Amino acid sequence: MSVIRFLRGIIKPYIIVFKHAISKPHTIKYPYERLMFSDGYRGRISLRFEKCIGCGLCSRTCPNRAIEMVEIEGEKHSFPQINFGRCSFCCLCVDVCPRGALFSDEVVELSVIKRDDLIYHPYKLSNPQPLESILKDLKKTITVQIEDGRLSYTLLRRREENV
């Protein structure tokens, strides 16, 4: 009996893995396809320049001290400047802003070659680079959907839509 159990323990996983080897892979071919995150995903922070009143609440709230208020010539008050090299994408600044001037989107592709490029001046913050210009090869995006109360997370049943 134990011999049979032993042999089953060898043969059964082998068959399972072999079935995997000949079935369709679950990979998202990333720079060409991209998974769209759920609503409210905390990604890059951007600024609505005209809404900000320079109260500095975001800067004081930030747990990482990633926001610095900078003066801009020709403007009456200062504006937030975010250092994404230090930000932990908690979005406390978005929550606390009394005017709703800060918002986050689902862009996470922020890699740079020079560290100083991670410090986003208010002007750069208010002109967020669209996803298509970061990922030039992006062909299609994949959306996770909820079907009958269950998260359909398999690529085999994915809904595809153009950006």
84 contacts other proteins (rule: CB under 8 A): yes
Residue 110 C-beta: closest distance to other proteins, Å: 5
For 140, residues 6+ apart whose C-beta sits below 8 A from its C-beta are 32, 33, 160, 161, 162, 163
User: 67 φ, ψ to 5°?
Assistant: -105, 130
130 contacts other proteins (rule: CB under 8 A): no
In the complex with ligand SF4, the residue whose CB is nearer, 61 or 152, is 61
> Residue 29 binds what, of other proteins, ligand SF4, none (CB under 5 to 8 Å, by partner type)?
other proteins
83 contacts other proteins (rule: CB under 8 A): yes
Among 61, 118, 124, 144, binds other proteins (CB under 8 A): 118
> Residue 128 binds what, of ligand SF4, other proteins, none (CB under 5 to 8 Å, by partner type)?
none
Residue 87 neighbours by CB distance under 10 Å: 21
156 contacts other proteins (rule: CB under 8 A): no
> Residue 67 binds what, of other proteins, ligand SF4, none (CB under 5 to 8 Å, by partner type)?
ligand SF4
3-state secondary structure 24-54: CCCCCCCCCEEEECCCCCCCCEEECCCCCCC
* Tokens standing for residue 80: 């937030």
In the complex with ligand SF4, the residue whose CB is nearer, 96 or 142, is 96
Q: Rounded to whole angstroms, how far apart are CA atoms 69 and 121?
A: 10
118 neighbors 110 (Cβ within 8 angstroms): yes
Among 18, 143, 145, 159, binds other proteins (CB under 8 A): 18
The DSSP symbol for 114 reads S
Which residues contact other proteins (rule: CB under 8 A)? 10, 13-14, 17-18, 20-23, 25-31, 34-35, 63-65, 83-90, 108-115, 118, 134-135
